[in-house]
Structure 1
Amino acid sequence: MPICRVKSAAVEERHNSKTNSIIRSQMVGLDFGNGFELPFRVGLGSRPSYPPGEYDIDPQSFALSQYGDLILKRYVDLVPLQAKAAAPAAKQ
Structure 2
Amino acid sequence: MLVRVLDTNNAHIPEPRTFPAKGDRPSRTVYEQKVYADMGGIFPVMFKISHDDHNAAYPVGEYELAPSSFKINQYDQLELDRYNIRLTPLSKKAG
- TM more than 0.5: yes
How far has the Cα of 1:34 moved from its partner? Answer: 3.4
Q: 1:52 aligns with which of 56, 60, 68?
A: 60
Distance 1:45 1:7 in 2: 20
Q: 2:84 aligns with which of 54, 75, 81?
A: 75
Maintained 8 Å contact 2:68/2:84: no
> What is the aligned length?
84
What's the counterpart of residue 65 of structure 1? 73
Q: List 4+ stretches of structure 1 deviating above 3 A.
A: none
Mind listing any 5+ residue stretches in structure 2 that lack a counterpart? none
More helix by share: 1
How far has the Cα of 1:26 moved from its partner? Answer: 0.6
TM-score by length of 2: 0.75
How far has the Cα of 1:54 moved from its partner? Answer: 0.4
How far has the Cα of 1:36 moved from its partner? Answer: 1.4
Mind listing any 5+ residue stretches in structure 1 that lack a counterpart? 87-92
Maintained 8 Å contact 1:25/1:44: yes
